[in-house]
Amino acid sequence: MPMQINSVISLIPANSFSVDELTAIYNRTRVDYLVPMPMNAERLAEYISSYDVDLARSLVAVEGDEMRGVAMLGVRKDRTWITRLGVIPSTRRAGVGEALMRGLLEQSAFLNMGFTMLEVIKNNAPAHQLFLKLGFYEVGELLVMRRSPSPPPEPVIADARRLERYEALDLVGYDRGTQPWTNQSESMAHARDISGMRLTLTDGSTGWIAYQREKFLLSHFIYKTESGDPATMAYAFLSHLHNQYPRLDTHIENIQANDPHLPGFTKMGYVESFRRIEMWRGTPPASLG
């Protein structure tokens, strides 16, 4: 059922619109963002599937025949996630963004979800203040990093074993605590072309990495050092991975800013694109660690 903001603008369930229409309004809301991140319909459809976005509980702000804003809700066991929130520039500062947020929080409450997650681009002060007003609190900072294709150094001497998809996903689902939504086990399970690698270094250090390999891109890195120095292990992972795929671009998201593996990424030539602030509302369920 539509929800009325005022006499002019209503909130309509997002499943009332096509993916093409949702793509168009999303891109219109991001034209002046710090990081626009435009999408095409194919990419948005994949996003909806990979991240368990429930379009029936997501919302579009509509004025007459015009779409003015959008906000999407990811739904998983014991938790929800607010994403793709945006209002077109000419409609901002009229309460539309807050109404969309409150609408999604109402959907979460209807589902009896006591825990909601989101991320906001650092220095997006209006959105950050809105989320604080609505009861979200800061958890930490997340990095988005890239590495352009370039000749990698020689791989670190190690016993390296390729992991099949099922082996990689089994490791991803084990003992990782409360992760950002994009890095949770379900997100990796929905992704295509997942592989992994297990390494044992000459000093006995061990660990693993799982990743997604697309046609021109490596992404969705999940990794763990089981024993040894995390920075050393990260550099070892990456030295083998980039020797295997030297011509692929690399884009990884939502890496914790205090991750002890980061020096290994920097040494391998990764650079920070931007940061997000991770925010929660409520207490993480025990099932998330």
What's the pLDDT at 35? Answer: 80
Nearest CA to 54 among 28, 30, 81?
Answer: 81
Lowest mean pLDDT among 65-69, 134-138, 237-241, 248-252: 65-69
Distance CA 242, CA 38 (A): 27
What's the pLDDT at 64? Answer: 86
Q: What is the pTM of this model?
A: 0.92
Query: Which residues in the chain are classed under CATH 3.40.630.30?
Result: 3-113
Mean per-residue pLDDT for 212-221? 95
Q: Which residue has the tokens 């209006």?
A: 126
Mean per-residue pLDDT for 152-164? 95
Lowest mean pLDDT among 139-143, 170-174, 206-210: 170-174
Q: Give the CA angle between residues 247, 251, 257 to the nearest 5°.
A: 135
Q: How confident is the model at residue 33 (pLDDT cuts 50, 70, 90)?
A: confident
Distance CA 69, CA 51 (A): 20
Asked if 209 contacts 241 with a C-beta cutoff of 8 angstroms, the reply is yes
What's the pLDDT at 177? Answer: 80
Is 94's pLDDT higher than 90? no
Q: 145-278 domain in CATH 3.40.630?
A: yes
What's the pLDDT at 37? Answer: 83
Q: 3-113 domain in CATH 3.90.180.10?
A: no
Provide the β-strand partners of residue 271.
146
Mean per-residue pLDDT for 143-148? 97
